[in-house]
Structures are given as structure tokens and as C-alpha cells.
A = this chain, B = another copy of it.
């Protein structure tokens, strides 16, 4: 017999952790419902061809594949050998695996929409709160099994969807008590900049890497490195002039206008991206008014340092509680290939976590992957594990969620406990969460049980109380104790 253990990168969640996680799930679910989103659940396993090829080569490797049934059965040896030869010959992998665990919620959702598009009412607004699995190397804060909480609108091009999703992000983090900044960009603007500078879009990652290094080696050196990536001097000069433009603009509005002028007629997609971003910002302004805060690119002499171009992520002290903080950041790109327009990322303004705690974006044609083109969509995803870590660090979980059982009836003997049981059933009918200790042992042991389970009240019925139909109620939080009749206990006492 081996010592029992858990697979690497997976976790058990005990009572307190489940309660805290459910607090996060319920908060997100309630806000999704408030905005008219409907729940969807898809299976843990998908056909392998539904998933493979959707997340890039790296993603394919991280998908957990399920062994076909019977493959570890020695009786099927001949079959296995034959199947395996085929796999090694590259002919197919049907013999060994046909199913896999889902890697995210977006592709299964696209598969669902493609399968059901004739029955669905569009725009279809769905939310989904389920685990996903990735064969990543486990490390702190990164697990092989973790939950995603997604909301997507499909079947509408309207920018109102983006605005609603931003409001949802705002509302969720308000309710959780985490002040956040929502970073916004638009893939079309990025495309426009690259078109304007005549840089091929394949160089996007190289350029973003260069921008990331501004604070380490300076903007000039950093951009010069792009020469080795195949860019020419003219492209680098054009790019630099745009980046300086951005860094010196006083407001997002000025920035967008200047960029629009620069684009002129050279890039239609860039101009479209600017128009979309302006429309989203104007809609946000019209419905949020005084609580909306735009982070402006600073007008600062040290224009070449990164703080002008990237957000300083310690701005919370300057903000009022309840502000909706938006940062327009041209360097936000987000990894996923399928985004085509607006993109979002959420960062906490407090706590030590620097990575994002959520994000999303618009995609033009996700279901096209499954043979149903022409259904655009936009979605967001909340990172529950990271939200949990931030809330733990900042002690943001409300005290009330720690309470399971409210009342422990002590077990003081056979007849006594029978009456206790009957009283307990009456209290349960009234919604009071109760337990009766399972055996008549020493007070100490029963008190200790109550203490460990964080139970607020103990009710004691001994032989004397049994005779008088009374009980002794002890508030374990402050030690107060009072005698009362069973009638009083059931009709007048409050267990708050």
C-alpha cells in the first residue's frame, strides 16, 4: 500500500477554502445574472479534434489526453500493438486517444454555439464557471486544474457589449472589495501602427519585447535591437515617433486624435480601431460620469522612460474608492490569436500580485473554426485563483462565510440526547444550522469540537433540564449563559 498523495498541480479544497471560493463564484455569478447573462456548462472532456490546433503548438502539448478505454488491458495486447504501430507511423492517433480534458472555456463554448446556432437566440449572452486542465509545469499560483469564470456575448457587433463587460468587471471587483485598473487597447490600432510604419504584424512580439525593455536599457537601445529582428531604420524611426506622440499626449482623447491624424488615409483598420475606442470611452463617460478616471499618458520631460508609456501600478492612493479606473495602453497586446478588436486586462491596484487577475477581448469569427462563420463575439474571463490570493493577502473575505454550524447540542446521555434531537429538528425547520454531539463524553471534548468548528452557541440539556423542559444556552463567543424553557428556545431566541 502506497502512501496516498495528490497528482502534482492539483489541490483538495477543505471547508473554509470551498466557502471562500464560493463567495467569489457567487459574487461573479450574481453580477453576470444582473447583466442578463445565462449559465452554460460543457463536459470536462471534448473530442480531441475539437481542442487540438486551437491553442498553438505550445497549447497542444499542454492538453491532457484521455487514454482510450481498454488500452491498459493486457487482453487487448494485439490490438494495442497494431494501433501503436499506426501512431508511430504517424497515420493516426485514434487508437490511443480520442478525448481530452478542456483547456479553456472559450473553445468548448464556440463548439457549443456552432452545434446549436440554429436554436439559439442572438445575441447569446452566456456565462460559464467551470474547471479547466493544463499540463503546465506546476509552480506557485499555477495549477494543472483550475477554475475559469467567463462571460461572452456572441452574435452582436455593437460596442455596447464591450461597455457592459467593462461595467461587469467594475461591479464584480467593487463587490469583492478589490480596487482595480482596467487596461484597454484595440488590436486594430496595433495593426494600424504596424501598417503606418510598414512593419509586418509578425514582428508584434519583437516590438512588444523591445517596449518592455525601455526601462532596462533605454528606448534608443531597445529599439535599435529591432534591427537584429529584421526591422529597418525607417521602420524604427516611424515607430519611435508614434511612441513619443503617445508619451506626450495629455489625455487619452488628445492621444487618440493625434494618432488619428498621423494615420490619415494610410491605415483604414487603424482609424477604425481609434473610432471604436473613442465610442467605448464616450459610452463609459456617459454612464459613469464623475466616477470614471482615465489614466493619462503623463506630460513629463523624461518622456523616454517607461513610466510615461506604461501604467504605474501603484496609483491607488491617488484614487477615490469606487472609481472606475481605465488605462488606455497601446502596449497591451494579449497573447491569444483569436482577438481582433478591443482587448482588456485587469490588474489589482493593491496587494503584491503584479500579474493580471482577468482579461478579455473581441473576436470576429470564433465559431468559424467549427464551420459556422460570421458570428462575432466579445468576452471576459476572471482568474479565480489569483482573485483568491489577493483577497487572502488583503483579508477581504467577510467574516460570515466562515460559519458553518451555528449551534451544538451537547450530548449528556441517552434520554437527554433524544429530547435534544427533537429540539434540534425544530430549530433546523426554522433554518438554524445545528448539530448534536455524537456521544455522551466529557464536556471538554464537546467544547473542543465546538471551538474547532467555530460554532457560536452550545445548548446543554442535562437530567435536571430534561425534567423541567428547559435548557442552558451558552454563547461561546462571549461566555454568556442563560437558562430558558424549550418553548422560549424555539420561539423567542435569536441565534445571531
A-side residues, CB < 8 A to B, are 1-7, 10-15, 18-19, 22, 33-36, 38-47, 49-50, 61-62, 64-67, 69-74, 77, 80-81, 84, 87-88, 90, 93, 96-99, 101, 111-112, 114-116, 121, 123, 125-126, 131, 133, 135, 144-145, 153, 156, 158, 160-161, 163, 167, 171, 283, 286-287, 369-371, 404-405, 417-418, 421-422, 425, 428, 431-436, 438-439, 449, 452-453
Contacting residues, chain B, for A61 (C-beta < 8 A): 69-70, 73
Give CA–CA (A153, B133) in the complex, Å: 31
Q: Are B439 and A47 in contact (CB under 8 A)?
A: no
Q: Which of B35, B77, B404 contacts A428 (CB 8 A)?
A: B35
Oligomeric state, in copies: 2
* A45 & B81 in contact (Cβ 8 Å cutoff): no
Ordered by A's residue number, 26 sampled pairs between the chains whose C-beta atoms are within 8 Å are A1-B371, A5-B47, A11-B43, A12-B112, A13-B41, A15-B38, A33-B404, A35-B434, A35-B435, A36-B404, A36-B405, A36-B434, A36-B435, A45-B145, A61-B69, A65-B71, A66-B67, A72-B96, A74-B88, A74-B90, A81-B88, A121-B453, A153-B438, A156-B439, A160-B417, A286-B421
- A-B pairs with lowest CB-CB distance, top 6: A36-B435, A10-B43, A15-B38, A18-B39, A36-B405, A13-B41
- Interchain CB contact under 8 A, A422 and B145: no
Q: Which residues of B contact A438 (CB under 8 A)?
A: 123, 153, 156, 158, 160-161
**Which residue in chain B gives the minimum CB-CB distance to A46?**
B7
A431 to B66, CA, bound (A): 43
B36 touches A286 (CB 8 A): no
Contact at A97–B67, with CB atoms within 8 Å?
Answer: yes
> Is B40 in contact with A14, judged by CB distance below 8 angstroms?
yes
Contact A44-B4, Cβ < 8 Å, known A158-B438, A418-B287, A439-B156 = no
Known: A43-B12, A46-B7, A287-B425. A369 touches B115 (CB 8 A): no
Which of B45, B114, B116 is in CB contact (< 8 Å) with A10? B45
Q: Which DSSP category, helix, strand, loop or mixed, fits chain A's interface? A: mixed
Partner of A40, one of B18, B153, B283, B421: B18
Known pairs A12-B115, A35-B435, A66-B66; list 16 more (Cβ under 8 Å): A1-B369, A4-B115, A6-B46, A7-B45, A10-B44, A12-B112, A13-B41, A34-B428, A34-B431, A64-B67, A65-B71, A65-B72, A67-B67, A67-B96, A121-B449, A156-B439
- Name the distance in Å between A283's Cβ and chain B's nearest Cβ: 7
Give complex CA distance A114, B12 in Å: 13
B residues in contact with A287, CB < 8 Å: 418, 421-422, 425
The answer for the CA separation of A433 and B81 in the assembled complex, in Å, is 58
A433 CB contacts on chain B under 8 angstroms: 33-36
In the bound complex, do residue A131 and residue B44 qualify as a contact, i.e. CB atoms below 8 Å apart? yes
A38 and B455 CA atoms in complex are apart in Å by 12
A434 → chain B closest CB, angstroms: 7
| Also in contact, A160 and B286, with CB within 8 A (given A15-B40, A64-B69, A72-B96) | no
Option from B13, B38, B283, B418 in Cβ contact (under 8 Å) with A421: B283
Taking a contact as CB atoms under 8 Å apart, the answer to whether B126 and A47 are in contact is: no
Please tell me if the beta carbons of B44 and A15 are within 8 angstroms of each other in the complex. Answer: no
Query: Do B3 and A371 touch across chains, with their CB atoms under 8 A apart?
Result: yes
Are B96 and A88 neighbours in the complex by a CB distance under 8 Å?
no
A276 to chain B, nearest CB (A): 15
CA–CA, A93 and B425, complex, Å: 52
Q: A46 contacts which chain B residues (CB < 8 A)?
A: 6-7
